[in-house]
Amino acid sequence: MLKASEILLETIKKDGRPERLLRQYEGATFYPPNPANNYVRGNRHRGMEPMKDLFGTEILWPQEQLAAMPHVTEDNKVIDDITEWKEQLVIPDIVGQCSDPALWEPFKQKAQEIKDSGSLFMAFMPTGVFERLNFLMGFEDMLVNFLLEPEDMMDLCNAIGEYRFQLTKLIVDNLHPDIILSHDDWGSKQSLFISPDTWREFIKPQYERFYKYMKDHGVIVMHHADSFMEPIIEDMVDLGIDIWQGTLPENAKEEGFMADGEAARASGGDNGCPPFIFAFLPIFWEQDLKGAGRTMVDGPNYRWQFLVSYPEGHKEDGDQWMMNEVLPAFAAMPEVTRMMTSKVKKEINNCHMDRCVEMWFDGPEEWYHCAVENTASFKKPEWAEYDNFPYLRPQFQFASLFLTDIATSDNLKQYRGYLPMR
């Protein structure tokens, strides 16, 4: 019988025949600390006071939070003008501060102990290139800068990539790990955060460099990205990634896979939480269909916003059905006080959703009357996958949320022992 470490090695062989499936880190021992990581990240622990890493990003880890997370605001972002990033950012000098062999000796001993135990030694590289951009300027600025300031963003990507390459060399040359777990989330559970072409232009070249160094030195490359990656899977193979940690059912192309894997989703499926959908819309609604000018002064507004994805082969006639049949029917209902819609800008991040609609009602009872009771008379389209409106797969082809102008409570001011985390 093979040891777990041997099964892991057999699993990643092109023609390997593992005896069984392994659990998460089975066969390897994950050991995150090293002098460079410790130097840049600082002494983090649950319940700590807010701190800054050496990149200048504020880090929070309250007692009730599962892990340390960046806290980037308009007031504390490290880079508030990408054209001046060289003046605003100081990249930590890990080569100058962390090259002394004596610093690495205790970690070398730990690595050898792990290897001697029969386990593979797994080192850690946190906060990849994409995540670091987010941590320095915030998510919105990052996305805008990719589009509006590509030259400065490329320069910054190259600078972060050089830092990460030097981190790679320090870890590989000193610890000689069997595996390096490299962390960089590139998307949500439904789509990439940026278009595949943008990712290939800015992000991929950085990983080509330091993943090649790992491969040249016999290190197994494990990349963490618990996100939808299907558009760039072949690119991940090109990069030499041996193990992809964080795969999701959404990445599978086989028919029927989702039905079996849905219950195991990190969000969505049987746990009652909808999947996260990252959809870009125009700044202003493309079509204002009813109630222009209505505000809170006119009464409370119970806002229903939904995203719809028409089945493949029915994108055009599906949208015609929505615009010519569904929305006019809703507009004719007196309970609908406001209605706007826009097409999703799919080209930005390859979002699978096609259209966003927002309707306003006086309250939930009015919504139920319109969206549930009145829709029973709607004509079912020929491509319908379900018998009742919206005739599409909930949370995947049709996802919605509700917003209110006037909240019934203020959890921050009316604190009673529970703080909303998100």
Structural domain spans, the chain:
31-247, 287-404
Spatial CB neighbours of 157, under 8 Å, sequence gap ≥ 6: 129, 133, 202, 203, 206
At residue 307, the 3 state secondary structure works out as: strand
The overall average pLDDT reported for the chain is 87
The pLDDT assigned to 21 comes to 79
> Over the stretch 218-229, which tens digit does the pLDDT of each residue have?
999 999 998 888
Architecture label for domain 287-404: 2-Layer Sandwich (3.30)
pLDDT band at 390 (very low <50, low <70, confident <90, very high): very high
Residue by residue, DSSP assigns 115-169 as: HHTTPEEEEEE-S-HHHHHHHHH-HHHHHHHHHH-HHHHHHHHHHHHHHHHHHHH
More confident residue, 409 or 164: 164
Burial 375-391 (b: 16+ CB within 10 A, else e): beebeebeebeeeebbb
31-247 folds as TIM Barrel (3.20.20)
- DSSP-derived pairing of the beta strands 120-125 and 28-30: parallel
Q: Which amino acid is at 324?
A: N
Strands (E) across 344-415 are located at: 355-361, 398-404
pLDDT at site 24:
74
Question: Who contacts 394 (Cβ-Cβ below 8 Å, separation ≥6)?
Answer: none
Q: What is the CA radius of gyration of the chain?
A: 25
pLDDT in tens, 192-227: 999 999 999 999 999 999 999 999 999 999 999 988
Please say if the pLDDT value at position 422 is more than 70. Answer: no
Give the angle subtended at the CA of 195 by the CAs of 232 and 131, to the nearest 5°: 80
| pLDDT for residue 334 is more than 90 | yes
Average of pLDDT values for 302-314?
A: 93
Q: 278 or 51, which is more confident? A: 51
Which tokens sit at 241?
A: 């990634």
Q: Which two tokens stand for residue 408?
A: 């019934």
Q: What is the mean pLDDT of residues 309-322?
A: 94
Distance, CA of 268 to CA of 270 (rounded, Å)? 6
Q: Which of 24, 20, 27 has its CA nearest to residue 4? A: 27
Instruction: List, for residues 94-135, the tens digit of each pLDDT value.
Output: 999 999 999 999 999 999 999 999 999 999 999 999 999 999
- Quick one: pLDDT at residue 202? 97
CA distance 18 to 39: 39
CB 280 within 8 A of CB 144: no
What would the two tokens of residue 281 be?
């819309």
Residue 30, SS3 per DSSP:
strand
pLDDT at 247: 67
Is the pLDDT at 65 greater than 90? The verdict is: no
- Partners of 303 in the β-ladder: 360, 403
Predicted TM-score (pTM) of this structure: 0.64
How much is the average pLDDT of 31-37? 95
Between CA 41 and CA 51 the distance in angstroms is: 10
